Every structure is written in structure tokens, then in C-alpha cells.
Structure 1
């Protein structure tokens, strides 16, 4: 295998892996830091370590162990995929990659200019504002506290880190040891910095998001025939476990366009095994009737007008915010597992990495094969289940324009 990509959540693993798969490069996405690294029948292997919500020390240990195993598995290149809004244990995981790889430098290109997420003078911007002033700065589970990338890294590692302008393709790489953070406001700047790194032997160990991942096939000389997205069931069911304001705007727009919208109650979200109870089974029957009667549907975990009712219910049960997050994702997974075989489901779109993971767990799936992007950051993947090939659309909660869901519905219906 040529390249190992290490991601910290499922949707992030897919949105980077698809940059290779869509170019005809055999790509597999698997879950778990202990996943097998050999006999995967792929040129690019993406491992979702599920470390975004772990304590920093645990995330470090998971990535360190994976990188040490990768050194013996024969990968030519290692790429630490980070969140383009800098969520998660970025400092700890980059430090683990640099230390375990025995490298002197780690080039880090956190920009995703294809999604208007850029790095200027070492500061990460989302749609023109510092990331701390964007919806990611007020995320209830993982707010981003620093827009200056080196400040964010310093919270979790003592390794030296410094910021640099984008490099010219024929430029030289700074001589400093440690984590080198490079600016990029355009894809061309990602490409030229990558070319300079390649010319100076600096592509073996890298870090960035799907933005830089999109130019890596060209830099590494990988690729075949571009992949065409297959025809899909024209019915669309959106399962949303994201609290991101970007996704909430998409749900509002879709509801205005005629999607049905079901908000799960705090009891349905927080009570273990609710969907296996008598009341849960009755609710499932009603949901299936709704899906059969309408072509476009949304099931979401957000309360109307804010999530205070669910937070209050969690407090009454003595749940921490982390326990609440896990319990909600697990409940949604059970719901999808119960509905999965119904023909009324149609094409399934899952938004949010926790939601995707639990939904796939519910049907016993731990590996996905990305195929293509339906829209930027919106990935179509396939997997085997019950002896047949099934498809699922995935996206991070922070991706996409307001009319994304209606545009996808139109696309799969055409």
C-alpha cells in the first residue's frame, strides 16, 4: 500500500479518502486504531481512530501505536488528516505522528480553500472570519478556542511549531525542526507548497485536511480513470445527529421545500434501548408509515428552538455532556438499524461522524469504500451488508451550502 491516512472521525476519514477514490485509486476506510494494516486490497488505507472526543493523552497513544505499526507495514507515505475547523486533539495527534515516525519535521497544511477555509498569517479562517468567531467557536461539545494554529498546537504539545507563508513550487523548505504550519488561501498555494515539499523530500510524513488531500494524488503520481457516481434510489432519508448551525440551516431550508421533519424527543434520544421497547416499536411503525408516504424525510436529534430540553433531561439523569453525546448517537444508531431493511428508507444520508459510526455499528459494518463526492465534502460510499451492496451518503455537520439537501434530492432524482 502506498499511503496511510489517519483520521479522528468517520466522516473526516471519508471526505479525505474520497479524494483518492474518485480518481480511480483503490481506497478503503476502516474504523479503529487497532485495524489491520495489511491484506486490505487497496493502494490507500484510511483509518478512523475515533479519537476526536478522547482525552489528549489517549489520542496521542492511539496515533503513536498506529504509526509504529505502519512503519513495519511498508507504507511509503503517512498523512495525519485533521479537521479543517481544528476540532479534536490536533496538537497531541500531530506530536504522536512526528515522534513515532522518527521524523525531524512535520509539514502541516490545515487549509481547505475549496470550502473557503483558509490559513493566513498562521490564523485559520472559516468563511472570512477566524475559526473562533465561526459556528465552530461555539460548538456545545468541542468549541475551538484558538484561531492561531500554533497556539492551538501548544495546548497539547511541547514540540516546537512555527508558521510560514505558502512556498513557491521551486522554493526551499524552512530548516526548523518540529511542526511547520503553512499558509494557504488557494488550491494553487496548497499545490505549490506540496511541490516544494516533494522536491525537498518532505512528503513522507504530512498533515492537513481534505483540502491538501485533494492535491496529494497529483503530487504522489497516483490516479486512474475518474469515477462516475452510480444511480441511487430517488427517495432520500436524512439522519442528522449534528448540532452545527450550518447543518441546522440546511434542515430549515429542506423543511421549507417540503421535506418532512421529525425531531426525536429527549426520552427517545436518552433512554437506552428505547427503540426496542413497546413504545419504541409503535413509534417505529409510525416513522415507517411517514417514510412510505413521503419521498424526502428528515429525522434529527435537535430540539426545536435549541437543545435545552435534552440538556435538562440529561442533567436529570445525571449524564455528563459527553455521556449525553454518546447516548444520543447510540440511540440514533439503534433507530437506523431498526429501519435499515425497510424499502421506504431509500437513499440514506448521515450527517455527523458520531451518527455515522453508530449507524454503521448498528448494521455490523466497520468498513466503507468511498466512491465519489456528490458535492464538495459530501461523500457517497458503499459497503456490503446481507450479501448485497448498499450505498450511503455522508457529510460532516459543518459542510455544505444552505440548499444542500434540496440540491441532493434533485440530483439523485434526475
Structure 2
């Protein structure tokens, strides 16, 4: 049976595209590595995460090639590259790696828009909620800043492959114009074609045209284009699509653990708002103590675990927040790394590893945690890996890019989780996520009882 294989450069990206497929009734799971792919025969789509967004170009290409090899070994005949909605990472290099693993006639079709998250492409320019990409907070991202709003210009700096574009004018002119533009772009020698889109209808039109052309295509996008191409290629099951509004509001007996490792202003606002809700407890983590893996870190990890477990023994709050940035002043991690003799990125890794240890410590000492909300892609990865999870079965989203699933394997097998990037959502989002996890966990308790 043919399967869809997707490569994502981080876990939150993997879950984002995964839930779009799940909402179209395509069984899908995201995995950290390839070892467990062959054990899971129930999926039509596999997503492998390479954790390659912030690594060197050569390392990113090597990881992606290994992922493609594993996907092919597990019957993936259609391939897709999931990219960040804000164009962070080694996009050009990773697309190169995938195309090099495909037949010579393969062509990359890139539609870097996700209109449901207010990410669109106009004239080649990436617009994020009405603001050019380079003028958003992502331009100052700690690990992977993006200072170029024009997508074709950005990608041309990352690959030697010839690139052509499809303008919004062609999209608005309809199917015949879009088909003509794609054929012309390929005749001009393009190996990667980048298309404008400002609505889901535009993405659907592009997918219909590309599917009808019967080309050997690598889809490149944040998720909507891949989902539409999967649909037109027959990756769907019959039945009613999931409607998140129909999920029962059953009572859940327990607590949702919120682990907030993102330092973005968006996350701070969301967690601060959540902390002010009734029956919510907040435990700040002293970040400076976690930068180095030493006695100070061990002491702080132990303190937070004991504090959380004591709260849970005394009561059952709706949510328990473990956070690193709401009550802490912003820390210059690069300066801390220089001062402590650490490698680049090591401070952030140590902080996220500590959040993983804290989460595991809490779960090992209490059964009251019924779900976990994780914000920050690196935080999510470290928490789940520390819990020895092998992947996530994707179910739905709370809002686009706040993705609901169930843990596969490890200490938290079957636990309901939501992962969200640090730049996504409104002030209310964290509150909505906690409520949604509680509903899903309550439903599962009813089914199992």
C-alpha cells in the first residue's frame, strides 16, 4: 500500500501538518526517528522529524536524506517537505536533499502559505497577519532569525536550483492560467516553483492543477498544500470529517500540566492570562540555574518537582503551569554561553532538558496529570523524549498550529497532549487549549471506564 512520507524540521511543524491530514480522515502519526515506522501499519501518512532547523546546512541535508531513505523503506511513494510558516531554517538545503533522493524528473512545488493562521504569500512576499515577515518578531528569533520577506530571494540564497514563481495574478485568472503558468515555469528550467496564495481556495486550485498535470512532485509548504495534494492523490477515508465543536465537554478528574519554555512575547501574554484564571497554579522556574547541567540545575529541578507534587496532593487544580519566561527577566543566552564556556545552543538545550526532567518527575510521582500542554517546539521535543515517547498520533487542532494528539510509547503512552509554537495564537489561546485537553481526556476516561 502506498503511503505519504513527510519530513519536518521540528516536532511542532510535524504536528501542524499532521492534524490537517487527520481532519481530512487520513490516519497519520509523527515520529522522532525511523525505528518505529515499520511497527505502525495503521497509518496512511508518516511524518519524520529531523530536528534540523537550527543546525548547519550540511548536517540538515544529511538528516533529511536519512529520513527520506527510511520513509521509502516503509512504502512512502509520495513525499512532502513541511516548512515553517515563517520560513525559518534550512529550507533550500533540505528541499535539495529531498529532490536528490527522488527521480530526475521530480520537481518541487512550494506554496508557503497557511491562510488559516494568517500566513499568506503575495508577489512572493511572506505576510504574517498583515505584516511583512522581516518586520515580525521572527526577524529577532534567537536561533533562526529571518530578515528577508521576499520568499524567492530567501530561497535562492539557500539553493543553486533554478527557481520560478507563479504570481497571484495567474492564480486569480483561474485554472487554465494556473496550468499554463506551471507548464511555462517548468519549460523555463525550474526545479522549484514558488506560488502565491492568500486563501485556502487558492491552495486548493493549485493542488487540483498540479495533481492533474501528473508530475512527479515534492510538495513544499506548512501543511495546507500537502493536505490538498494528499486528498487529490486518494489519501483519504470515507466518513464525516472531525468537527472540533462536537467534542463532548465531559468532566475530567485531574489536572492539565502546562509546560511553557518559549520566551516569545506571545507566549508570555498567553501564560500570564492563563495564570490569572480560577483554579490555576503557577510555578516559576529559575532559568539561570538551568543553563549549566550542574548541582544548581539539579537542585532547581528537584524544587519544582516537589512543589508541583505537593500542590497536586493537596488539591486538583484545573491547570498547573511550569514556566521559564513569564516571571523571569529575559536572559541573553549567547552571553551566558560565552560566560560559562558552553557551545552555541547548549544553554537553550539544557533549559529544555530540565523542563523534560521536571515533567517526568511530576508524572512519576502522581497520577493526577491527565494531559500536557507544551509551548515552544524545542520544549515539546525535550519533554516527549525525556518521557521516552516515540511519536504522536494526531487527532485535531485547537486552533491552527496548536495541535492535539495522543502520545505513542514511553512513560506517558496514551496521554492527551497539545503542542504549540511560541509565536502562535491570541491572549485566550492557552485557556482554550487547557479546556480542550480536559474535554478530550474526559472523553477518553469515559470510553475506558
Q: Give the TM-score, by structure 2 length.
A: 0.84
The one of 361, 367, 379 equivalent to 1:343 is 367
Query: How do 1:223-372 residues align onto structure 2 when only pairs under 5 Å count?
Result: 223-224=236-237, 225=239, 226-227=241-242, 235-258=255-278, 259-272=280-293, 277=298, 280-292=301-313, 293=315, 294-302=317-325, 304=327, 306-308=329-331, 313-341=336-364, 342-372=366-396
The one of 228, 240, 255 equivalent to 1:215 is 228
Q: Distance in 2 between matches of 1:285 and 1:99?
A: 51
Secondary structure, counterpart of 2:148 in structure 1: coil
Q: Distance in 2 between matches of 1:333 and 1:413?
A: 21
Deviations 1:229-254, CA, capped at 9 Å, x for gaps: 57665632210111222222212222
Q: Distance in 2 between matches of 1:98 and 1:139?
A: 28
Deviations 1:365-398, CA, capped at 9 Å, x for gaps: 1221111212222212112445952221111222
Q: Does residue 62 in structure 1 map to residue 63 in structure 2? A: yes
CA, structure 1 residues 72+238, in 2 after alignment: closer, same or farther (shift >3 Å)? closer
Secondary structure, counterpart of 1:392 in structure 2: strand
Q: Distance in 1 between matches of 2:258 and 2:411?
A: 22
Gaps of 5+ in 2: 440-449
CA, structure 1 residues 274+27, in 2 after alignment: closer, same or farther (shift >3 Å)? farther
Deviations 1:247-266, CA, capped at 9 Å, x for gaps: 22212222333543333113
Secondary structure, counterpart of 1:159 in structure 2: coil
The one of 85, 105, 113 equivalent to 2:107 is 105
Q: Tell me by how many angstroms 1:290 deviates.
A: 3.1
Q: Which residue of 2 aligns with 1:30?
A: 31
Q: Which residue of 1 aligns with 2:442?
A: none
Q: Tell me by how many angstroms 1:136 deviates.
A: 0.9
Q: Does residue 148 in structure 1 map to residue 171 in structure 2? A: no
Structure with bigger helix share is: 2
Query: How do 1:107-256 residues align onto structure 2 when only pairs under 5 Å count?
Result: 107-166=109-168, 167=171, 168-170=174-176, 171-172=178-179, 173=182, 174-175=185-186, 176=188, 177-202=190-215, 204-224=217-237, 225=239, 226-227=241-242, 235-256=255-276
Q: Distance in 2 between matches of 1:411 and 1:96?
A: 38
Contact 1:303/1:310, CA 8 A, preserved across alignment: no
Contact 1:5/1:78, CA 8 A, preserved across alignment: yes
Q: Distance in 1 between matches of 2:35 and 2:105?
A: 23
RMSD between superposed Cα atoms in Å: 2.6
Contact 1:274/1:331, CA 8 A, preserved across alignment: no
Q: Distance in 2 between matches of 1:91 and 1:156?
A: 5
Q: Give the TM-score, by structure 1 length.
A: 0.91
Would you say how many aligned residue pairs link Structure 1 and Structure 2?
Answer: 413
Q: Distance in 1 between matches of 2:392 and 2:7?
A: 15
Q: Does residue 408 in structure 1 map to residue 433 in structure 2? A: yes
Contact 2:107/2:191, CA 8 A, preserved across alignment: yes
Gaps of 5+ in 1: none
Moved more, 113-122 or 279-288: 279-288
Q: Tell me by how many angstroms 1:209 deviates.
A: 0.7
Q: Which residue of 1 aligns with 2:45?
A: 44
